[in-house]
């Protein structure tokens, strides 16, 4: 594949609400955000791939004090989600009460979604499945 993976392209897919990960043609490992080299076998023969959008919540934190750009959105969750395909992504979490982090359970199934933030940006997000 001639496409060089860039973070800019990855973010563009998210803005278009068309999330893609990067997949190794040789061993099938799926990586996100993209890296030019496969973590599994070292191959550089990789291509963009769609994912199921299903995952589970591995970890999360609540952002109360945000930088100026994100102040209007606080408090909000940032989570680490392990996709069904095996890769882990950092993502916004939506559909959870940000005042009640004690209600968020690790390991629960989540589904890909997108967060349209007050700043006008679109972020990768996951919501309870
Ligand atoms: Zn590989």
60, 108: one domain: yes
CA 87 / ligand 1 centre spacing (Å): 13
pLDDT tens by residue, 78-108: 999 999 999 999 999 999 998 899 999 999 9
* pTM over cut 0.85: yes
* Neighbour count for residue 47 (Cβ, 10 Å): 14
CA 105 / ligand 1 centre spacing (Å): 32
41, 88: one domain: no
CA 9 / ligand 1 centre spacing (Å): 21
59, 119: one domain: yes
61, 122: one domain: yes
CA 35 / ligand 1 centre spacing (Å): 11
89, 59: one domain: yes
79, 122: one domain: yes
First CA to last CA distance, the chain: 33
Q: Which class for 26: exposed (0-12), middle (13-18), buried (19 or more C-beta within 10 A)?
A: middle
Tally of domains in the chain = 2
Domain range for 70 is: 54-128
pLDDT tens by residue, 28-76: 999 999 888 999 999 999 999 999 999 999 999 999 998 887 888 889 9
Question: What is the domain-level CATH number for residue 62?
Answer: 2.40.50
d(CA 69, CA 90): 18
CA 79 / ligand 1 centre spacing (Å): 26
């Amino acid at each position: 594949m001639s496409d060089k993976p860039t973070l800019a392209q990855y973010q563009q897919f998210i803005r278009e609400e068309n999330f893609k990960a990067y997949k190794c043609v040789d061993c099938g490992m799926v990586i996100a955000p993209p890296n030019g080299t496969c973590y599994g076998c070292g191959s550089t023969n990789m291509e963009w791939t769609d994912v199921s959008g299903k995952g589970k919540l591995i970890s999360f934190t609540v952002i109360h004090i945000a930088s100026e750009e994100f102040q209007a959105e606080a408090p909000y969750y940032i989570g680490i989600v392990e996709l069904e395909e095996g890769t882990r992504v950092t993502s916004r979490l939506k559909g959870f009460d940000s005042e009640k982090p004690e209600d968020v359970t690790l390991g629960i199934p989540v589904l890909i979604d997108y967060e349209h933030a007050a700043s006008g940006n679109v972020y990768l997000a996951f919501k309870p499945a």
